[in-house]
Amino acid sequence: MSHTNALPFSSRSMARDVITDQAPVLSVNGLTTNFDTASGTVHAVREVSFDLYKRQRLAIVGESGSGKSALAMSLVGLVPAPGRIVGGSVKLNGTELVGLDDAGISKIRGRDIGLVFQDPMAALDPLKTIGTQFVETIRVHQDVSAKVARRMACELLAEVGVNDPERRIADYPHQYSGGMRQRVLIAMAIANDPAVVIADEPTTALDVTTQAQVLDLLAKICDERGNALVMITHNLGIVEELCDSVNVMYAGRFVESSSTRSLFGSPAHPYSKALLDCVIDPATAKRGALPAIPGSPPDLSVDEPGCPFVSRCPIGRDELRCATERPEARALAGGAVVRCHFASDTPGDAA
């Protein structure tokens, strides 16, 4: 079943071999992040674990407020105050990142893990030229002269599709369009050849027409350089087109982790199912109300004993067990890992 319009992703036709027999590049274990606000502690990320391998493209999907961005920021120690990592570990090629001081984590950011942000319009310092910011980014990690760094920057700008980079590099951010700024930011994120690229909703703020181009560019660049990609999004179309495996995030937890094919073929968790039901296929869409998941996500500052999805769940709504006992992660026969007492990956069985 296809949930998407055809998008001109060059990546789709490319053969992709994820190397999973080696050690993972990034290994996350029990990562937990809280925000201590005046009205209570918000548990934004709760015991998240996953492994990321070389060349892998991993998606993290969820509604707004499910903790996706907090997770992305936790990976590189950039959780904004009053947020803080309270537990778990993030290992990059075996090196622990949680608890590193500013000097230590700064060496990792940009060099080993590159980030692409949601809003390219706000992501560049408006008082400095693209060139200044780019050269700065390169010279933090590489011992090259400003002149060499500028030449490297021009090459990278050309690679991401900026025309006439020698002239455009002297321009200020406001002289670039949103799509162009995101290209520049992608170029800056990969300038130091990081092993992992984390893209946090990189196209949400862009025009629909430029979204596909930017995604295409991101996929192409990661493929050519062999970076692993973590794509954070609420757009299932992107996931199906671009990613090998998916983690569905709900209320700060991964409720289902599986391969893209298995998730789209036979979603196991009732929440994943509901999400897929909400995807509208313009070709077959009927008139009338848009499908939506009834109810609203739980308050993240309350740690309820049962399953966080219970009040919205078609299966668990009336089950005592779902209301009182939190489902632990368990692996299903098809390989998916699910946090649900009743999930199974046999289509039709659970629902």
Give the number of C-alpha atoms closer than 13 A to the C-alpha of residue 5, restricted to the C-beta side.
8
Question: Shortest gap between Cβ of 281 and another protein (angstroms)?
Answer: 7
Question: Could you say whether residue 65 binds another protein (CB under 8 A)?
Answer: yes
Question: Shortest gap between Cβ of 210 and another protein (angstroms)?
Answer: 11
Measured CA to CA, the distance from residue 110 to residue 137 in angstroms comes to: 8
Burial 311-325 (b: 16+ CB within 10 A, else e): bbbebbeebeebeee
**Total number of residues binding another protein (CB under 8 A)?**
73
Site residues (CB under 8 A) for another protein, limited to 234-263:
234-238
Burial 243-275 (b: 16+ CB within 10 A, else e): bbbbbbbbbbbbbbbbebebbbebbbbbbbbbb
Site residues (CB under 8 A) for another protein, limited to 75-94:
76, 78, 80-81
Select from 127, 143, 284, 305 the one that contacts another protein (CB under 8 A): 127
Select from 115, 169, 219, 255 the one that contacts another protein (CB under 8 A): 115
Question: Could you say whether residue 103 binds another protein (CB under 8 A)?
Answer: yes
Token readout for 53 is 């391998």
Q: For the chain, how big is the Rg over CA atoms in Å?
A: 21
Select from 10, 23, 64, 145 the one that contacts another protein (CB under 8 A): 64
Question: Could you say whether residue 338 binds another protein (CB under 8 A)?
Answer: no
Question: Could you say whether residue 340 binds another protein (CB under 8 A)?
Answer: no
Token readout for 332 is 């299903």
Q: In what order do the strands lie in the sheet with 337-338?
A: 113-116, 196-200, 228-233, 57-61, 245-250, 253-259, 337-338, 330-331
Which residue stretch of 20-28, 90-98, 293-301, 335-343 sits at the interface with another protein (rule: CB under 8 A)? 293-301
What are the beta bridge partners of residue 113? 109, 196
DSSP state of 70: H
Question: Could you say whether residue 102 binds another protein (CB under 8 A)?
Answer: yes
Question: Shortest gap between Cβ of 177 and another protein (angstroms)?
Answer: 9
Question: Could you say whether residue 331 binds another protein (CB under 8 A)?
Answer: no
Nearer to another protein, 12 or 23 (CB): 12
Q: In what order do the strands lie in the sheet with 40-52?
A: 40-52, 26-37, 83-92, 95-96
Question: Could you say whether residue 311 binds another protein (CB under 8 A)?
Answer: no
Torsion of CA 243, 249, 253, 255, to 10 degrees: -80
Question: Could you say whether residue 278 binds another protein (CB under 8 A)?
Answer: yes
**Cβ contacts of residue 99 below 8 Å, gap of 6+?**
none
Select from 36, 95, 99, 125 the one that contacts another protein (CB under 8 A): 125
Question: Could you say whether residue 343 binds another protein (CB under 8 A)?
Answer: no
**Cβ contacts of residue 178 below 8 Å, gap of 6+?**
120, 121, 205, 206, 207, 210
Question: Could you say whether residue 10 binds another protein (CB under 8 A)?
Answer: no
Which residue stretch of 143-151, 154-162, 275-283, 320-328 sits at the interface with another protein (rule: CB under 8 A)? 275-283
Question: Shortest gap between Cβ of 14 and another protein (angstroms)?
Answer: 21
SS3 category, 247:
strand
Nearer to another protein, 23 or 170 (CB): 170
Site residues (CB under 8 A) for another protein, limited to 189-208:
189, 192, 208
Select from 74, 182, 211, 258 the one that contacts another protein (CB under 8 A): 211
Question: Could you say whether residue 159 binds another protein (CB under 8 A)?
Answer: no
